[in-house]
Structure 1
Amino acid sequence: MTLYQLGVFALLAGLSVSYSLSARHVERLRRGFTGGKAHNLLDVWTIAGALLLPVPLVVPLVLVCYAAEWPSRKSVSGGRPMRYVITVAIVAAAASTASAVHRQVGGPLGILAAVLSWVVINSALIAAVVWLFDDRRVIRQLLGPRNQVADSITKVTGVAVAVLASWRPAATLVVLPIVLAGHRLALWDSIRTTAAYDSDAGMWAEPGWRVQATESIATAPGFVALVLIDPERPHSEVSIARCLTGVLRPTDPVGRYGTRQVAALIQVDMAAVGVIVAERVRARLDRAGIVCVVGVSISLGEGLDELLIRAGSDLMARRESAGISARW
């Protein structure tokens, strides 16, 4: 190990950690929309490491990259720690093999041989694990065109990082905003392919709203208020969304809930502010001529399901006290 190699290791590790921290919010949403089935972009840094570093430094780099990404991964289904450990082990094996091959062959041909060896080792080990322990239909998904294109782009970017680092290590810094921009594009692609957002209605579909609301609760610095709107007569969702636009912030997730309800999740400084926001929502809907009942729950530290249950209970109590049928 040379001082230069240690410097490259520190550079790639720093870029990877910076990327994972900067992309955490986007990554949680992307994984939430896709149920955790999302291609990660960590190969940008690990491929570069395999082409620039000896094996004793490649494995620690892989560990650093995946450790920094773990907080984003565990936000969906707890991250499945055992599966994550297996993934890290497979990537470490593929990266180590690619590093050894590159050093044996050398030159541009060595880069191509290293990437191909990575793909072969990675694919073979993943296929074996899935075949033995998981749903075998996943193999078809992994071999699908979308996944292959995403994987190829990531690896080409990793090769570009290695070339830049060999030329001018500081030049690799320009890659970070590019990768983050690509990550955001991947988020919008996930939203589009899962139909998580209804642009015509101007609100999230229920699964998309749940992902946004869960993330908003997790990042809230204080209280959150959940407002549940149940219209008495069929109304255009567009009308309800427009009413809420004047009361809520653009970042407050608004979406469908159940068969006809609309839900909104608002971050507030104090519980009293949540009550005020709910009253403003009621007043705004009333002025718009939308006859409805609005339930609210305000809490600090509770999960989304608990908030929904209490908002639903409040809504039903208000319907009953107003002499309205409590049946949906």
Structure 2
Amino acid sequence: MTAHHIDIFILLAALTVSHSLTARHIERLRRSLTEGKVHNLLDVWTVAGALLLPTALVVPLVLISYGAEWPSRKSVNGGRPARYLISVAIVIAAACAAATVRQHTTGPLGIAAAVLSWTAVNSVLIAAVVWGSDDRGLLRQLLGLRNQVADTLTKLTGVVLALLVGWHPVTGLVVLPLVLAGHRLALRDSIRTTSAYDASVRMWSESGWRVQAAESIATAPGCVALVLIDPAQPRSEAAIAQCLRGVLRASDPVGRYGTRQVAALVQVDMEAVGIIVTERVRARLDQAGIACVVGVSISVGEGLGELLLRAGSDLMARRESAGISARW
């Protein structure tokens, strides 16, 4: 181990942590929409480390990479810590195997041999885990064409990063924006494949909206107001979305809720502002001639479930006070 190795380790560790922090929102949304069934991009950094670093530094690099990603991973089903630890252990074994091969071979042949050894160790260990858990769903996911293409591209990017850093460490910085751009493309693909967003009306599906709303609640500096709109006529989403665009910010998540309702979540400074926003929504809907009932809940520190429950109760109370039957 030399001072040069330490410098490369610090650079790769900084890149992987920066990537995980910058792409945190994207990764949470991507994983939540797909129920966690997506390929991560951490091999970009760990493959580069295996090609450039001694084994003693490869292990902490893997631990740092997966530790930085954990906050995004745990947003879906608690992250499944046991499965996550198994994944980390498998990657450590594969990375150490690749690093060992690389230390004994040089040139393009050494790079190819290291990547192949990584793939072989990784595949064997994953096969053993799947065999032991009898998880056929995981096996289908891993063998799927989409996963195989993503895995190959990630490793190739890691090889390119290693070549750039080996030539001059500073050039490795250009990979970070490229990986972040790839992450955004991966998010768009997840949104498309899960039909999470309807571009024609600029509205999220219920699952997509829940993810966005939960993220908005978590990052809100003050109050949040949840507006729940129940229209009298079905298929009114486009007209309602058009009205909301005139009142809400583009960043405020708007989506379908239930069979026909529309939900929106707004970050506000204080409760009074939330009330004003809600009245503006009601006024805009009334001006557009959309017959509906609007329920609202405004709070600080409550989760999405509690906000939805109170907004739904407010909506039902308003329907009852207006003499509207349970069925429009």
1:125 aligns with 2:125: yes
- Give, in whole Å, the separation in 2 of the partners of 1:8 and 1:270: 48
Q: Could you say which residue in structure 1 is the equivalent of 2:249?
A: 249
Equivalent pair of 1:235/1:290 in contact (CA under 8 Å): no
Structure 2 matches for 1:2-41, cutoff 5 A?
Answer: 2-41=2-41
- Give, in whole Å, the separation in 1 of the partners of 2:103 and 2:157: 20
Q: Could you say which residue in structure 1 is the equivalent of 2:234?
A: 234
Q: Could you say which residue in structure 2 is the equivalent of 1:323?
A: 323
Q: Which deviates more, 138-147 or 178-187?
A: 138-147
Between Structure 1 and Structure 2, how many residues are aligned? 328
Q: Which amino acid aligns with 1:11?
A: L
Equivalent pair of 1:205/1:255 in contact (CA under 8 Å): yes
Q: Could you say which residue in structure 2 is the equivalent of 1:114?
A: 114
Structure 2 matches for 1:1-328, cutoff 5 A?
Answer: 1-133=1-133, 135-327=135-327
Structure 2's unaligned 5+ residue stretches are none
- Provide the secondary structure at the position in 1 that maps to 2:264: strand
Compute the displacement of 1:108 (Å). Answer: 0.8
- Give, in whole Å, the separation in 2 of the partners of 1:13 and 1:114: 20
- Give, in whole Å, the separation in 2 of the partners of 1:311 and 1:134: 43
TM-score (norm 1): 0.98
Q: Cα distance 1:97–1:280, how it changes in 2: closer, same or farther (>3 A)?
A: same
Compute the displacement of 1:137 (Å). Answer: 2.5
- Give, in whole Å, the separation in 2 of the partners of 1:175 and 1:13: 14
Structure 1 moving runs of 4+ over 2 Å: 233-236
RMSD of aligned residue pairs (Cα, Å)? 1.1
- Give, in whole Å, the separation in 1 of the partners of 2:52 and 2:313: 60
Compute the displacement of 1:213 (Å). Answer: 1.0
Compute the displacement of 1:101 (Å). Answer: 0.8
- Provide the secondary structure at the position in 1 that maps to 2:58: helix
Q: Which deviates more, 72-81 or 125-134?
A: 125-134
- Give, in whole Å, the separation in 1 of the partners of 2:9 and 2:233: 63
- Give, in whole Å, the separation in 1 of the partners of 2:157 and 2:130: 27
Q: Cα distance 1:115–1:184, how it changes in 2: closer, same or farther (>3 A)?
A: same
Equivalent pair of 2:37/2:141 in contact (CA under 8 Å): no
- Provide the secondary structure at the position in 1 that maps to 2:30: helix
TM-score (norm 2): 0.98
Equivalent pair of 2:31/2:37 in contact (CA under 8 Å): yes
| % same residue | 73
